[in-house]
Amino acid sequence: MSHTDPLAHVRDLFDLDDEVVYLDGNSLGAPPRNVAERVQDVIANQWGRRLIRGWSEGWWTAPERVGDRVGRLVGAAPGQVVVADSTSVNLFKALMAAVRGTDRAEIVVDAGTFPTDGYVARSVAELSGLALRPVDPEHLDPTDATAVVLLNHVDYRTGRLLDMAEATERVHAVGAKVVWDLCHSVGVLPIELDRLGVDLAVGCTYKFLNGGPGSPAFLYVPKDAQADFHQPLTGWTGHREPFAMSTDYTPDDGVSRARVGTPDIISMLALDAALDVWDQVDLADVRAKGLALTAHFRGLVEGLPGIEVITPADERRGHQVSLRHPDAKALMDRLAERRVIGDHRPPDVLRFGFAPLYNTFEDAERAAAALEGLL
């Protein structure tokens, strides 16, 4: 069966081992070829030759500049996304800012959320004196008591995609705020944060954005909310005049107030280099290919002995296919021995993440054949 692939040429931009079928881009994206050369330049020239002058020659403004590049992928106009810190830290900032001064009683969180989101939400609830109420996001029921709702756009375990427009509207209907975690959807499908009036959003860059292990995360704060965005981590780089060394903290007027400490420049600029590949593609093509890839793989593995597909069959899914099998961990280990790399989520889930920029239909077929052989 032949498949049209408008992104076939993009695979050549990545440094890949053709002997390996890599289907774990939803945990760690593959490196674009240009990243190694760019990082070498950062180390040898920008740091090695320019030394401290690098800060005034582009390093200091990198969080905002790279943030704008990420913003283009999530439907955010310039000046609303900053790249800094980790997803967990940014989530803490966002939730604390969202509940600051509220007279409401609860924080609502996706009951099946990625664990760090749940941990952070619980800490915020404890610090703010609010109750934490887990809910099934498919039956979202915010009330007049809800201050903020934290939702995962794509469920990390099943790949289920939430309707951002519908959920955001439902939260706003009761006067609450919504914070979206985009870790498993950024770089997967078109996202429209500005158009949908999203209050705040966070996400990582080392999955489908291919920024590298531990690359800095991002935080979205819309312009009309920036003046009231009072985050709890008032570090010096979020100051209006960071080099004035004032003893009083005055936040920056814009999205830079979301910054905290000194940015990780080497990792930041590796991400900046990785984002170059997005200049070559249209997110509509990425989404179309992702749906086709996952549908093709699903069709190949459905009906295999002992396999249950738990990812939605319709378009309410990200770019992964999750399977349930009682021996999931052993199967994934044996697949890795056969150079098919996915991942396992306890107790019984096998995840196969398809990155449309570099995964192919042949990858899907090789992975399915290896799994069938083991079963």
- pLDDT tens for 102-135 read 999 999 999 999 999 999 999 999 999 999 999 9
Query: Residue 88 annotated as binding?
Result: yes
- Tell whether the model's pLDDT for residue 3 goes beyond 90: no
> Could you tell me the domains of the chain?
8-33+280-374 (3.90.1150.10), 40-279 (3.40.640.10)
- Tell whether the model's pLDDT for residue 136 goes beyond 90: yes
The reported pLDDT for the residue numbered 78 is 98
Q: Which two tokens stand for residue 28?
A: 């760690």
Residue written as tokens 């090789």? 366
- pLDDT tens for 150-165 read 999 999 999 999 999 9
The reported pLDDT for the residue numbered 105 is 98
Query: Averaged over 325-342, what is the pLDDT?
Result: 98
Q: In which order are the strands placed within the sheet that holds 218-220?
A: 81-83, 218-220, 200-203, 177-181, 146-152, 106-110, 131-135
The reported pLDDT for the residue numbered 4 is 79
Rounded CA-CA distance 105/66 in Å is 36
Residue among 351, 352, 358, 363 flagged as catalytic: 351
Query: Residue 247 annotated as binding?
Result: no
- pLDDT tens for 278-299 read 998 999 999 999 999 999 999 9
Q: Which two tokens stand for residue 124?
A: 């915020």
Query: Averaged over 250-276, what is the pLDDT?
Result: 98
Query: Residue 236 annotated as binding?
Result: yes
247 Cβ contact list (under 8 Å, min separation 6): none
Question: Hey, is 347 helix, strand or coil?
Answer: coil
Q: Where are the beta strands (DSSP E) in the chain?
A: 21-22, 81-83, 106-110, 131-135, 146-152, 177-181, 200-203, 218-220, 308-309, 320-324, 340-341, 343-345, 349-353
Catalytic, 206? Answer yes
Query: Residue 116 annotated as binding?
Result: yes
- Tell whether the model's pLDDT for residue 1 goes beyond 80: no
Rounded CA-CA distance 268/30 in Å is 16
The reported pLDDT for the residue numbered 2 is 60
Query: Residue 206 annotated as binding?
Result: yes
Three-point CA angle 290, 68, 58, nearest 5°: 125
Query: Residue 184 annotated as binding?
Result: yes
Phi and psi at 342, nearest 5°, equal -125, -150
Query: Averaged over 325-348, what is the pLDDT?
Result: 97
- pLDDT tens for 34-57 read 999 999 999 999 999 999 999 999
Residue among 114, 156, 220, 361 flagged as catalytic: 114
Phi and psi at 13, nearest 5°, equal -80, -5
Catalytic, 289? Answer no
Rounded CA-CA distance 106/120 in Å is 14
- Is the separation of the CB atoms in 122 and 146 below 8 Å? no
The reported pLDDT for the residue numbered 280 is 87
Q: Which two tokens stand for residue 139?
A: 């039956």
Rounded CA-CA distance 341/333 in Å is 9
The reported pLDDT for the residue numbered 113 is 95
- Is the separation of the CB atoms in 85 and 217 below 8 Å? yes
Query: Averaged over 329-337, what is the pLDDT?
Result: 98
55 Cβ contact list (under 8 Å, min separation 6): none
Residue among 24, 85, 110, 181 flagged as catalytic: 181
Query: Which H helix or E strand runs over 366?
Result: helix 361-374
DSSP state of 315: S
Query: Residue 114 annotated as binding?
Result: yes
The reported pLDDT for the residue numbered 80 is 98
Rounded CA-CA distance 311/328 in Å is 15
DSSP state of 200: E
Residue among 206, 229, 297, 354 flagged as catalytic: 206
- pLDDT tens for 16-40 read 999 999 999 999 999 999 999 999 9
246 Cβ contact list (under 8 Å, min separation 6): 239
- pLDDT tens for 185-208 read 999 999 999 999 999 999 999 999
- Average pLDDT value for the chain: 97
Q: Which two tokens stand for residue 20?
A: 């390996």
- pLDDT tens for 57-104 read 999 999 999 999 999 999 999 999 999 999 999 999 999 999 999 999
Give CA separation, 239 vs 138, 218, 235, 262, in Å: 40, 18, 7, 12
Residue written as tokens 């809800």? 146
Catalytic, 228? Answer no
- pLDDT tens for 203-252 read 999 999 999 999 999 999 999 999 999 999 999 999 999 999 999 999 99
Residue among 207, 257, 259, 317 flagged as catalytic: 207
Query: Residue 117 annotated as binding?
Result: yes
